[in-house]
Amino acid sequence: MEKSPIRVLVTGAAGQIAYSLLYPLSKGDVFGHDQPIELVLLDIEAMLTVLDGVVMEMQDCALPLLKSIIPTADTDVACKDIDVAILVGAMPRREGMERKDLLRANVKIFKAQGESLDKHAKKSVKVVVVGNPANTNAFICKKYAPSIPPENFTALTRLDQNRAQAQIATRMGLVPQDVKNVIIWGNHSNTQFPDVRHAKVAGKGVYEAVQDDAWLKGDFIKTVQTRGAAVIKARKLSSAMSAAKAIGDHMRDWWFGTKGDEYVSMAVPSDGSYGIEKGIIYSFPVQAKPDHTYSIVQGLQIDEFSKEKMTTTLTELQEEKCSAEEFCGY
Ligand SMILES: NC(=O)c1ccc[n+]([C@@H]2O[C@H](COP(=O)([O-])OP(=O)(O)OC[C@H]3O[C@@H](n4cnc5c(N)ncnc54)[C@H](O)[C@@H]3O)[C@@H](O)[C@H]2O)c1
Ligand SMILES: O=C(O)CC[C@H](O)C(=O)O
């Protein structure tokens, strides 16, 4: 018997990340090749003509799992009865823009979407925020949706994890899948801490395998922290293909569960683990189960080097939270 369809919202649906995401999402790569999907596509009024073109292309892909497509510019219509919300729609940073400019421009979008999710979405809705500043937007979205469990709100740091795995793998002449349990701590920004202390490469500790502590503590971290800015500088546009791939990885692992003793990084509401202020959306190592629940991996040893870096990124998130609350009028 065919499964009942799930209703999946993608915002920013006329934008460049959505253009790379909608095809793999609708053909079963994220929720399974036996899971029918009703797609809801939200963008702003001015982009509805472009969105029509995206809808035509989706129809022309002739995908068996794609049961319906609803394009809309109305947030309340978009949130109605949804099971999953992939919140991409927001302004991307361009060369010369500061993070704070982005916060001011984007945070109100997530206040409005939080209020709408609260009223119209299923209480079990699983939310991933991609639009930047992703962690703080997710914090605001959660704050304005008090009837939905806070743990259902997450932000994307899987792209950072993928970047870190790729850097190590390239260095070792391996593939990224040979690198396990890299952790991204904190904010999806250049203060994030890509931590390989607990990671394994082809079964060995990364420090032992790479044999270059100066690189691991220096250029490796810097490269991952500033990779998004490097892509913007080169493309004059922010990462889209790799972001779409990471969204798929994040949702698939949350939906189906992580493998064995492997963990992945997701920005989730802190429960106070590792001394991180409760409620802040902070990237942690998590393990997920097939019932769509996840938990923060406990008991990892944190040395002084790591502690300092984890605190720096926390401080930035605390500052962003204060600015965001101020912009939203508390
Ligand atoms: N977390 C991550 O890893 C990560 C990675 C890459 C990009 N991003 C962020 O994702 C966001 C989108 O990037 P993009 O390259 O697709 O941008 P884009 O400009 O190509 O597309 C954004 C789309 O969002 C729409 N939009 C704006 N306000 C909206 C609203 N209120 N409701 C619905 N849609 C709205 C725009 O009209 C546009 O079509 C940016 O904020 C970018 O910085 C995050
Ligand atoms: O604005 C930035 O510097 C980063 C853009 C995006 O989040 C990325 O990581 O590619």
Report residue 40's pLDDT band, with 50, 70 and 90 as the boundaries: very high
Report residue 98's pLDDT band, with 50, 70 and 90 as the boundaries: confident
- Whole-number Å distance, alpha carbon 236 to ligand 2 midpoint, is 12
Under 8 Å CB-to-CB from 159, ≥6 apart: which residues?
Answer: 188, 228, 239, 242, 243, 245, 246
Question: How high is the pLDDT of residue 93?
Answer: 82
- Whole-number Å distance, alpha carbon 251 to ligand 1 midpoint, is 18
Question: How high is the pLDDT of residue 34?
Answer: 98
* Residue with the two structure tokens 């503590």: 217
For residue range 249-261, list pLDDT tens digits in order.
999 999 999 999 9
Report residue 243's pLDDT band, with 50, 70 and 90 as the boundaries: very high
> Tell me, what's the ipTM?
0.99
Report residue 190's pLDDT band, with 50, 70 and 90 as the boundaries: very high
Residue 9, classified by CB atoms within 10 Å of its CB into exposed (0-12), middle (13-18) or buried (19+), is buried
Report residue 112's pLDDT band, with 50, 70 and 90 as the boundaries: very high
Residues making up the annotated binding site for NAD(+) are: 43, 106, 130-132
Tell me whether residue 188 is one of the annotated catalytic residues: yes
Question: How high is the pLDDT of residue 282?
Answer: 99
- Domains plus CATH for the chain? 6-155 (3.40.50.720), 158-320 (3.90.110.10)
Given ligand 1 and candidates 16, 47, 55, 88, which is best to mutate, with the most ligand atoms within 8 Å of its CB?
88
Its pTM stands at 0.98
Question: How high is the pLDDT of residue 183?
Answer: 98
Taking residues 287-313, report their average pLDDT. 98
Q: Whose CA is nearest to atom 10 of ligand 2?
A: 228
| Residue among 179, 175, 161, 171 nearest 212 (CA) | 171
Q: Whose CA is nearest to atom 6 of ligand 2?
A: 228
Q: Whose CA is nearest to atom 9 of ligand 2?
A: 228
